[in-house]
Amino acid sequence: MYDRVVISVAFLHFEERGVELMEAFMYQFHPRTERAREIVNEELGEIHTVDASFKFPLDNPENIRLDPDLAGGSLMDVGCYAVSAARGFLGEPDRAFAHTRDSWDSGVDTNLAGVLSYDDGRVASVSSGFDGPDRDYYRVETDDGWLEAPNCFGPEHDQSVSLTYSVDGREVTETFDAVDHYQLQVQAFADAVESGASPPLGREETLGNMRAIDALARSAERGEPVDVAGSE
């Protein structure tokens, strides 16, 4: 498995050559993602749980995602999005606990269910998989309400999307026009390079996500919770 050490070396390699590097999390550039975080931060109360999931079915045993030599597995392929979404609302977790399943006997996880926990009592549940129907959402629970975004990671460029939130019993649904979030991602990176600014998703964001991913993977291997900061 690739881990944060490898990624950190990659960043240094690019920096030595004066080249910028940014991880391609396209959903981060969709206007709905920005709006969801704005609602949670400004209109809802204290967060206590986040649930994020990204799953889709595979039907080909030769799919590259099932190759352990290429860091395959559902956690690295789509679970990284669920982890990113959870961290986007809650910040960096303190501990991780996970279980995995290899339904294809491929040597990688084809399903993962994990928990990221925080010392202050907050919890995020994350899941990923290559079996069963499509599943793509995040839900934030707060002391006074909730927010949920379906199809949050992979909407098509011509597909409008929505989010729904409730605060003190008042429920609101907001709809967003179709956008190409891949194009928005590329444009944001190009603008940063042209202006000499740091990319919108910098090294610390990538390493933070990888720390949590590493911890989930190691927890699944060991069958016990592990500290995120000390999961080597």
2 pLDDT above the threshold of 90: no
* Residue 57 maps to a domain: yes
Classify the phi-psi angles of 194: left when phi > 0, otherwise alpha if psi is within -120 to 50, otherwise beta.
alpha
Mean pLDDT along residues 183-203: 94
- Among the listed ranges 23-27, 78-82, 226-230, which one has the minimum average pLDDT value? 226-230
In a domain, 65, yes or no: yes
pLDDT at 92 over 80: yes
Order the strands of the 95-101 sheet from edge to edge. Answer: 170-176, 161-167, 145-150, 135-142, 47-55, 123-129, 111-117, 95-101, 226-227
Which pLDDT score, from 0 to 100, does residue 18 have?
74
What count of residues does the chain have?
232
CATH number for 104: 3.30.360.10
Residue 46 lies in a domain: yes
Residue 101 lies in a domain: yes
Domain that holds residue 191: 4-227
Counting residues of the chain whose pLDDT is more than 90, the rounded percentage is 85
In this predicted model, what pLDDT tens digit does every residue of 54-89 receive, in sequence order?
999 999 999 999 999 998 999 999 999 999 999 999
**What's the pLDDT band for 8 if we cut at 50, 70, 90?**
low
Rg (CA), the chain: 18
Average pLDDT (211-219) is 97
Rounded to an integer, the average pLDDT of 199-220 is 94
Residue 93 falls inside a structural domain: yes
What pLDDT is stored for residue 73 in this prediction?
Answer: 97
Q: Is the pLDDT of residue 24 over 80?
A: yes
pLDDT attached to residue 112: 98
Look at residue 232 and tell me if it is in a domain.
Answer: no
Please report whether residue 175 resides in a domain. yes
**pLDDT, tens only, 93-120:** 999 999 999 999 999 999 999 999 999 9
pTM, two decimal places: 0.93
Say how many domains are in the chain.
1
> Residue 63 falls within a domain, yes or no?
yes
Q: Give the Cα separation of 2 and 18 in Å (integer).
A: 24
